[in-house]
Structure 1
Amino acid sequence: MKIIYSFFLLLFLLKTCNIKKEVKKRAQEPAKKELSDEKLLDLVQKQTFNYFWEGAEPNSALARERLHMDNIYPTTPKNTVTIGGSGFGFMAILVGIERNFITKGEAIERYHKMVDFLAKADRFHGAWPHWLNGETGKTVPFSKNDDGADLVETAFLVQGLLTVSEYFKGGSLQEQELVAKIDNLWRTVEWNFFTKNDEDILYWHWSPNYQWAKNFGVKGYNECLIMYVLAAASPTHPIKSSVYHKGWAKSGDIVSNQKLYNHDLVLNYYDQKTEPLTGPLFWAHYSYLGLNPTGLKDKYAGYWKLVQNHAKIHYDYAVENPKNFKGYGEDFWGFTASYSIKGYHAHQPSDDLGVISPTAALSSFPYTPKESMKMLRNLYTNHDSLVGKYGPYDAFSLEHKWYVTRYLAIDQGPIPVMIENYRTGLLWNLFMQNTDVKKGLTKLSFKIKQ
């Protein structure tokens, strides 16, 4: 009996000690509500950056496609890495350097590992697939007939690569070696191949087994603008300007004269003309992590107005809350593609299930700083159970009393990057100074703010 009593006494003392340590630790940490706006931005940037640093797939150092804190993976394995999300990760790591979360030396070492893996991984006419096995570099099929090149995901990756290249050009020998490796990857993407026999449009997919079976010609406004810009900018395999104007812009039919909540839509979303839809908010983020919409114009749109109005429409919809979902308002808003009550869903005002995806509002900081800050502060002060190690969890619903302790790379990645663009313009400035990018924008008749 004495042995049993002593055992339980020891357990009690250890538990008491741990509780005291935890209480002391929390006492030493400022309450979230006491943090200044700047400190709160620092915190969320560090947490979301760490998804791509501490949470990276260890062999490739690329971004895990998803990271589940419950360690349950019912679909893709934990070692699956995402090409587009890794592009966001390349940029997030630059934020880590600038915010002193890591040293430049640590970042350089990590970048070499990432780039070396990408150089040896499966590619198809220079383009990467949507997903890779992080241990082998082999393609993980994304869906039926999609086991080859994904040009949109490749564009998101290249956007990140070119931004990193600009940051390190002219640096040490090790830095210049990294720049040279990135330049080789950039030059070997065969963008013009994806016009499928020289059509005036870019196709999203190509498979060595199914060729053009997906048959997804990318036209009408969505998240893919960066793909057309990079395809025009390629120094080795560029597209003709007509591919942009006739394909993406549909010979001018991309222009919209409609409004929602008294905000101009500017462009037609998707490929429809009958209903003024805005689309999920990631359309205002993915192409603009590096591509600066400030002062960016062509004959179809002023891109700052386009993306800012997109975010404002989402905000105004949440404030109006026409379906009376619990929690919606000026400090609880934002709809995008994310986890949902049943699987995955592209949430948007016209397709609202009562689910809020925090990346939507937080990645909109450059466009709606006051509204985004309200959402951030509300999350971290009143809903801290919805925030984990790598920042806010992917999605939740107060209406349905639902959330998951899970993350997606493509949702966490835009948060630190777009917040940094709001704070300093870092990623915008780097990407937009790239010589090839400038030539591509000029080729497509864009005007850039000088």
Structure 2
Amino acid sequence: MSGAERNGEAELKTLQERSFSYFRHETSLTNGLVKDKNAPDWPASVAATGLALTAYPVAVERGLISYSRALERTLMVLRFLWTSPQGPEPDATGYKGFFYHFLDMKTGRRTWQCELSTVDSAFLLAGALAAASYFKAETPDETEVRTLADALYRRVDWVWALDNGQTLTHGWRPESGFIPYRWEGYNEALLLYILALGSPTHPIPDSSYAAWLSTYQWESRYGYDYVYAGPMFTHQLSHCWIDFRGIQDAYMHEKGIDYFENSRRATYVQQRYAIENPLGFAGYDACCWGITASDGPGSTTLKINGVQRQFMGYSERGVPYGPDDGTVSPWAIATSLPFAPDIVLPAIDYCINHLELTHRNRYGFRASYNPTFSEGAGKQPTLDNDIALGWVSPWHFGINQGPIVLMIENYRTGLIWELMRQCPHVVQGLRRAGFSGGWLLPSS
């Protein structure tokens, strides 16, 4: 191994360890729920909790947490989720097997009048199923993990979430009913549809997946043909759990690629967009991209070098059609590691050693920054070496931290992919979605 390779491995080890530290410190010790972000009095996110459940096996294998402690935390949250109130009341934890997007860290009850979220529930359930695949011993505690994970999955009424339509809805509120938006167009809902198809109790029909595929948008940008989705995270999150290498549904079979290759191309589109930088933002280059859902400077307009710039707070930024306000999210670079290590590893090294985005930061990368904003708001010294990153998010988000941990591990060992290959519900969902080939071929 060369010196550069050893340095790269050391950087990945440190980044993964620090990213996992979020779950070590931002998790309730009474119910196992994980904070959405590390702000005072902030609620839990069920998606972050699902990512934590998936990250515990990684942390055990990497020596970041003991096996017994990971099992204890896993059981704590699964027991809470199973026994927490489910019903149409506005202060329940969930309904029809789904869970509300945000839950109070202490009580576990719905907060902010948020929605019963179908996709965030899918991330939570994927974490539970990953835990069930990892804790395989015939002990009372590990048997309970598997029993609870299976029961939670079987309880979900996926058909109800169709709301008499073909595609799955985004969610439901007790005050107003179903949200008028549906999961259409390629996005992070790939995992949602697979879990909904694989259900042994309330599966959606095969026609629902076909209806979703019919809404895809095929694009050609910067020399790459791919299924379009703007924010980078949409090309990553389902891949945290499922290995799409070499398996194809009907749509991908027709295009001659798989979803892994599609994400690889989307990663290169992100980098090419940053290199060409059509809107002229500061800092964009071959190592500074990662344009995705992220925190931002806030809703304000500034005139910078004669150009009126509109900035945003938390928003789903994307390329090549936007929205884009110059905000870069280094976590989205790291989470692309399995797809394009040739461009991701140098970018991680740049973020660590040149931009010092992990300096004095126990949770790894800063969530996001915007160097363009500093040009209009007055440059601020952000780090010890006085590199001006402009606006820097003061917070960390569980839904950013988890994918870093998981995708570094999938790149190094494929651990989570292997665990989910052993989950019969996931395999059934893939088969019902029409996936074939690769590791889904019957064993000889």
Distance in 2, Cα, partners of 1:405 & 1:311: 26
1:203 aligns with 2:169: yes
Q: CA deviation at 1:383?
A: 2.0
Aligned to 2:302: none
Counterpart AA for 2:107:
T
Gaps of 5+ in 2: 85-92, 253-257, 299-312, 374-389, 440-444
Aligned to 2:376: none
Cα deviations across residues 160-185 of structure 1 (Å, max 9, x unaligned)?
A: 11111111124433211211111111
Matches within 5 A, 1:282-297: 282-297=233-248
Query: Which of 90, 102, 123 is matched with 2:94 structurally?
Result: 123
Aligned to 1:377: 349
1:303 aligns with 2:268: no
Q: CA deviation at 1:447?
A: 1.4
Is the 8 Å Cα contact of residues 364 and 418 (structure 1) preserved in structure 2? yes
Distance in 2, Cα, partners of 1:279 & 1:142: 28
Q: Structure 2-normalised TM-score?
A: 0.84
- Higher Cα radius of gyration: 1
Aligned to 1:228: 193
Gaps of 5+ in 1: 1-32, 270-277
Aligned to 2:316: 346
Is the 8 Å Cα contact of residues 132 and 146 (structure 2) preserved in structure 1? yes
Aligned to 1:428: 417
Query: Which of 228, 238, 253 is matched with 2:203 structurally?
Result: 238
Q: CA deviation at 1:254?
A: 2.0
Counterpart AA for 1:154:
S
Q: CA deviation at 1:34?
A: 11
Distance change (3 Å), C-alpha of 1:262 and 1:385: closer
Q: Structure 1-normalised TM-score?
A: 0.83
Distance in 2, Cα, partners of 1:165 & 1:239: 23
Q: CA deviation at 1:61?
A: 2.1
Distance in 1, Cα, partners of 2:293 & 2:336: 14
Distance change (3 Å), C-alpha of 1:120 and 1:137: farther
Matches within 5 A, 1:24-423: 36-68=7-39, 73=40, 77-78=41-42, 80-121=43-84, 122-141=93-112, 143=114, 146=115, 149-197=116-164, 199-212=165-178, 214-246=179-211, 248-250=212-214, 253-254=215-216, 256=218, 258-265=219-226, 267=227, 269=228, 278-301=229-252, 302-342=258-298, 343-349=313-319, 350-351=321-322, 352-384=324-356, 387=359, 388-400=361-373, 401-423=390-412
Is the 8 Å Cα contact of residues 186 and 217 (structure 2) preserved in structure 1? no
SS, match of residue 159 in structure 2: helix
Distance in 1, Cα, partners of 2:171 & 2:10: 42
Distance change (3 Å), C-alpha of 1:89 and 1:382: same
Q: CA deviation at 1:448?
A: 4.2
Distance in 2, Cα, partners of 1:311 & 1:230: 25
Is the 8 Å Cα contact of residues 131 and 145 (structure 2) preserved in structure 1? no
SS, match of residue 66 in structure 1: coil
Counterpart AA for 1:443:
R
Is the 8 Å Cα contact of residues 232 and 238 (structure 1) preserved in structure 2? yes
Cα deviations across residues 19-66 of structure 1 (Å, max 9, x unaligned)?
A: xxxxxxxxxxxxxx9971111111000011111122223332221010
Distance in 1, Cα, partners of 2:297 & 2:168: 34
Is the 8 Å Cα contact of residues 337 and 344 (structure 1) preserved in structure 2? yes
Cα deviations across residues 327-381 of structure 1 (Å, max 9, x unaligned)?
A: 2222222111110111212222222211110111100000111211112111211
Distance in 2, Cα, partners of 1:34 & 1:219: 41
